[in-house]
Amino acid sequence: MSFAPARPLEQLYATRSSIKWRRYPADVLPVFVAEMDFDVEPAILERVAQTLQHSDTGYLDSAGPLAPAFADFARASWGWEVDPADVHLATDVTVGVVEALRLALPAEGGRVVLTPPVYPPFFEMVEEADAVAVTVPLLEDHDWSLDLAGIEAAFSAGADAMLLCNPQNPTGRCHNRETLQALAALAARYGVFVVSDEVHAPLAHPGTRFLPFAPIAREAGCRAVTVTSASKAWNLAALKCAVIVAADEWSASLLTALPQELAARTSILGLHANVAALSCVGWRDDLVGLLVENYRLLEAELAAHAPSVRPVRPDAGYLAWLDFRDAGLGDDPAAVLIEEGRVALNSGLAFGEPGRGFARINLACNPSTVIEAVRRIAATVSARSTAALAG
């Protein structure tokens, strides 16, 4: 079935109970947390309904049918040859990252490289794994690319692991082959274990080729795993299912030591939803088309009504990184926009120090929501500018 546009906001407020619709009062426009305003693809709903109708609501002990389904999807999408035996379950991507780190890090903890601005829970995941974060900021002046020199310095200083975000959140950047090959070579040279979060990978925009890290890591002799899920591309976060995939023989052996309870804590409904989602590529393609149109709309509306706010054009996904540093809203523009503009974005400060003066907006919504969000942003920027001139 083809992709359907989002329902009106009043219907979403009336029927949904997630934090996107309950965290703030109804007069605040929610364009923050990474979940979609769109309905779940009907074939996925049917698969989950059938699972419930069969009372198939017990525990899992392996990836089962999801392993070959993911292998088929990876081969068709990216030319990545995955051995289904290397696919393991996790409750969600964050849990998968933490469990992989726990297995790979030294018993007394370790040091994990992060590249801010980056997905805020990365900082919490490192703490949960009893490790310390070593930050190497992205190079803003080089289109938000990895700072390979800085990463090598961190590796040579004794880093044990690195969390790679690819596609990158919040910038939406897909790292190119040259960068990923250089990173893999460095990780192999210094014996650093790489965990690659690739949950936004199915949403690469037209003209962008997403490159999974695992085959590049394997070629370089780098130890690595990929953690991913259908949760973002098909809006299934609540169904709690992700996969951890080994890139190499050492990591494959490592993952055999994952706790048995990790699979048991994963939702069987989520597993079946993920299997169904990975075959719904037409729906996904229609979604990506709408996301690109929404980004272009965002650019046009900001240029016309709030030119001091500069968006970073993403390569993938439905999140956009907005630079408010010339807009007069201070270090935390999202806080100002909630209070004065009644529009909720993600605070850039949560993404690390390089997020100061930035905010993240969610474009997985009706185009009218994008227009209304920019209207509220523009009104807030204008009011602050007027107040500053009068003051």
Q: Per the domain annotation, does 306 fall within a domain?
A: yes
Residues 130 and 210 in one domain: yes
- Choose one of 277, 298, 319: the last residue of a domain: 277
What CA–CA distance (Å, rounded) separates 260 from 184?
Answer: 30
Query: Which stretches of the chain score pLDDT less than 50?
Result: 1
Q: What is the pLDDT of residue 60?
A: 98
Q: Same domain, yes or no, for 244 and 160?
A: yes
Give yes or no: residues 344 and 364 share one domain.
Answer: yes
Residue 387 pLDDT = 80
Q: Is residue 136 part of a domain?
A: yes
Do 30 and 47 share a structural domain? no
**CA–CA dist 371, 298 (Å, integer):** 7
Longest CA span, the chain: 67
Of 277, 307, 339, the residue that ends a domain is 277
**Strand, coil or helix: what is 6?**
coil
Identify whether residues 226 and 365 lie together within a single domain.
no
Q: What are the strands of the beta sheet with 242-246, ordered from one edge?
A: 87-90, 242-246, 224-228, 193-197, 161-165, 111-114, 132-135
Specify whether the CB–CB gap between 329 and 316 falls below 8 A: no
Domain shared by 228 and 317, yes or no: no
Say how far apart CA 133 and CA 191 lie, in whole Å.
17
> Does some domain include residue 147?
yes
Could you tell me the pTM of the whole model? 0.97
Residues linked to residue 133 through DSSP beta bridges, in sequence order: 112
And the tokens for 259? 């706790």
Count of domains in the chain? 2
For residue 291, what pLDDT is reported? Answer: 98
Is there a single domain that holds both residue 240 and residue 92? yes
- Tell me if 314 is assigned to some domain: yes
In a domain, 250, yes or no: yes
341 and 367 share one domain: yes
* Domain membership of residue 299 as a residue range: 9-39+281-390
* Residue 268 tokens, joined: 């069987």
Closest Cα to residue 324, out of 316, 332, 335? Answer: 332
**Token pair listed for 25:** 């009062």
Q: What is the CATH number of the domain that holds 150?
A: 3.40.640.10
Which residue in 200, 230, 225 sits closest to 213, CA to CA?
225
List CB contacts of 193: < 8 A, sequence separation 6 or more: 104, 105, 160, 161, 162, 187, 223, 224, 251
Left, alpha or beta for 79 (phi > 0: left; psi -120 to 50: alpha)? left
Q: Which CATH number fits the domain that encloses residue 346?
A: 3.90.1150.10
Same domain, 319 and 338: yes
Determine, yes or no, domain membership for 3. no
Residue 359 contacts residue 325 (beta carbons within 8 Å): no
Q: For position 1, what pLDDT does the model report?
A: 47
Q: Are residues 240 and 303 in the same domain?
A: no
Closest by CA to 114, choosing from 163, 166, 180, is 163
161 and 271 together in one domain: yes
From 277, 311, 334, give the residue that closes a domain.
Answer: 277
Looking at the fold, whether 27 and 81 belong to one and the same domain comes out as no
Q: Is the peptide bond before 206 cis (omega within 30 degrees of 0)?
A: no
Domain assignment present for residue 15? The answer is: yes
Give pLDDT tens digits for 9-68.
Answer: 999 999 999 999 999 999 999 999 999 999 999 999 999 999 999 999 999 999 999 999
